[in-house]
Amino acid sequence: MGMAAKTGRGRVRLNVGGRVFETTADTLASAGRDTMLGAMLDASWNAGGHDDAVDGVAEYFIDRDPACFAVLLDLLRTGTLHLPPGLPEPTLCREALYYGLLDRVRAARAGEFDGDRLRLAASVPGRAPGDGTAVRAAPDGGCCVAHGGAVRVYNWLLEERRPVYLDHAPVNDAAYLDAATLLVAARERPGNRRSDGGGVGGGVAAFSALTGDLRHRFRVAHGRQPRSFTAGALELDASSNRVFASCKGRLNEYGVGVWDCATGEQADFFYEPPGCALGDADKLQWLDNTNTLMVATMFPRTDASFLTLLDFRDDKSVVWSWTDAGTPASLEEKRAVHAVVLEDGRSVCVVNQYDDLGFLDLRKNAGAVRWSSRSKLMMASAGKNKKAAAAARGYEETCYPKLAAHGGQLFASTNDTISVFSGPDHVLTSTLRGSGGGAICDFSIGGDRLFVLHNEENVFDVWETPPPAII
């Protein structure tokens, strides 16, 4: 900024595509040294002074669209994003990328995630054949949807990138290692077996979320022999940089595999002890405060539901477990169909096929589920009727309720609605119903967004919290 800063008292004149903007060096510097504007004003690029300075005010020319620049300059000045009518968002984002301001635009678009202040931001039609199995939020606001043998990847503008295929094997689960790396767990394809035991198709692999390229395959070895396997659910432990996956081998090597993300090598394997179902697990959840992994294997995938806490330290052990196996089976019986450990790490929330919430205390073993009547879902009766009708027609219910915990709130999907429960007593505070894509088969929260995957229309809805009000 050298002379310009001194003579023009920090004033800077920018000629952007013919339109002149006057601002201050401070405003432009607030973009950061790591942006085009920050670099342009840096002393190392202004050592020779400005020959074209008028009235002591430094002038720069930028060969870009002035309308978009006006929006971005406004963003730098006010920290808020105002998109004038007629200026498409992708155009603005393209310009923001040029200046290195894309992160600022993304941050200004929506407010901090709050389950009670969500609005439907977008509805993205699906195009894959077959039912969606999972939707996962990326840390940067994008997401991916697993459909059959592919994972479709969307950036935070919800533009689709190149999809990911793991030998086109049916995908069971996906997880973001970081915004640019996606882990995929897939089932072995029947009939595609190799005699050497190497196997293709199933397993766990890392892909570039940007390009869809395969980066690494996570292998499982039993007795030093590499084996092919089917991977069920995935989970990450960020603090020790490990990946967990529930695994089923062909030779009954059931259990939970552990890999080191940095080396990509297998770090451990927790073989399924008798009376626990680990290899078939629907959901894994790493608990930071107790250094344990919650493994949930739920009805109807298995005849009974099993919840297990695994401790992977020195001598691997099951530190807590619960099952409803052995309770008399009847149609009316409440079966836990999904589970989530609440954020305090002290209790597990479960939901049954009638959308009732129940709680289990993780600090004592052999407890029973405390079904909650207070948080009974509002839509329960309607859902029940529908399910009863479906059962009468004789086909299986595919969309059982699911749960998630985020920011002190509890989220439950029931039929086509997401219910939000808040506070220590989990009181229902919000109900979200989206684009009418039918029953919800999965949802995911991350990158300040809630993604909801609907079953019937193959649509996913994106919910976000609007920026704080200006006044």
Partner 1 sequence: MSGGGPPRKRNFKIEAFKHRVELDPKYAERTWKVLEHAIHEIYNHNASGLSFEELYRSAYNMVLHKYGEKLYDGLKNTMTWRLKEISKSIEAAQGGLFLEELNAKWMDHNKALQMIRDILMYMDRTYVPTSHRTPVHELGLNLWRDHIIHSPMIHSRLLDTLLDLIHRERMGEVINRGLMRSITKMLMDLGPAVYQDDFEKPFLEVSASFYSGESQEFIECCDCGNYLKKAERRLNEEMERVSHYLDAGSEAKITSVVEKEMIANHMHRLVHMENSGLVNMLIDDKYEDLGRMYALFRRVPDGLSTLRDVMTSYLRETGKQLVTDPERLKDPVEFVQRLLNEKDKHDKIISVAFGNDKTFQNALNSSFEYFINLNNRSPEFISLYVDDKLRKGLKGATEEDVEVILDKVMMLFRYLQEKDVFEKYYKQHLAKRLLSGKTVSDDAERSMIVKLKTECGYQFTSKLEGMFTDMKTSQDTMQDFYAKKAEELGDGPTLDVHILTTGSWPTQPSPPCNLPPEILTVCEKFRAYYLGTHSGRRLTWQTNMGTADIKATFGKGQKHELNVSTYQMCVLMLFNSADGLTYKEIEQATEIPASDLKRCLQSLACVKGKNVLRKEPMSKDISEDDTFYFNDKFTSKLVKVKIGTVVAQKESEPEKQETRQRVEEDRKPQIEAAIVRIMKSRRVLDHNSIVSEVTKQLQARFLPNPVVIKKRIESLIEREFLERDKVDRKLYRYLA
Residue 141 vs 358, nearer CB to partner 1? 141
**220-222 vs 214-218, strand pairing mode:** unpaired
Residue 15 vs 323, nearer CB to partner 1? 15
Task: Give yes or no for a contact between 454 and 441, defined as CB atoms under 8 angstroms apart.
Answer: yes
Report the 10 Å Cβ neighbour count for 42: 13
Alpha helices in 9-134 (DSSP H): 25-29, 36-40, 66-78, 89-99, 102-109
Q: Which residue has the tokens 């405390």?
A: 370
Nearest to 220 by CA among 195, 247, 194: 247
Q: Name the minimum Å distance from CB 44 to partner 1.
A: 6
Which residues sit at the interface with partner 1, rule CB under 8 A? 34-36, 39-40, 42, 44-45, 47-48, 60-63, 97-98, 100, 180, 208, 210-211, 213
Task: Give yes or no for a contact between 176 and 142, defined as CB atoms under 8 angstroms apart.
Answer: no
Task: Give residue 9's region: left, alpha or beta (phi > 0; psi -120 to 50).
Answer: left
Q: Name the minimum Å distance from CB 106 to partner 1.
A: 13
Q: Which residue has the tokens 């009939």?
A: 191
User: CA of 317: how far to CAs of 190, 272, 345, 365, in Å?
Assistant: 33, 11, 18, 14
Q: Name the minimum Å distance from CB 208 to partner 1.
A: 7
Residue 97 vs 378, nearer CB to partner 1? 97
Q: Which residues of 417-439 are buried (b: 16+ CB within 10 A; e: fewer)?
A: bbbbbbeeebebebebebbebeb
Q: Name the minimum Å distance from CB 269 to partner 1.
A: 30
Q: Name the minimum Å distance from CB 189 to partner 1.
A: 28
Q: Name the minimum Å distance from CB 141 to partner 1.
A: 16
Quote the tokens at residue 419. Answer: 């219910």
Residue 262 vs 469, nearer CB to partner 1? 262
Give the 3-state secondary structure of residue 53. Answer: coil
Task: Considering only the C-alpha atoms of the chain, give the largest distance between any 2 of them, rounded to a whole number of Å.
Answer: 89
Residue 61 vs 436, nearer CB to partner 1? 61
Q: Name the minimum Å distance from CB 355 to partner 1.
A: 43
Residue 182 vs 350, nearer CB to partner 1? 182
Dist. CA 457–CA 471, nearest whole Å: 39
Q: Name the minimum Å distance from CB 47 to partner 1.
A: 5
Nearest to 404 by CA among 334, 453, 368: 453
Residue 41 vs 276, nearer CB to partner 1? 41
Dist. CA 192–CA 197, nearest whole Å: 11
Q: Name the minimum Å distance from CB 176 to partner 1.
A: 15
Residue 35 vs 353, nearer CB to partner 1? 35
Residue 19 vs 370, nearer CB to partner 1? 19
- Burial of 181 per CB tally in 10 Å (0-12, 13-18, 19+): middle
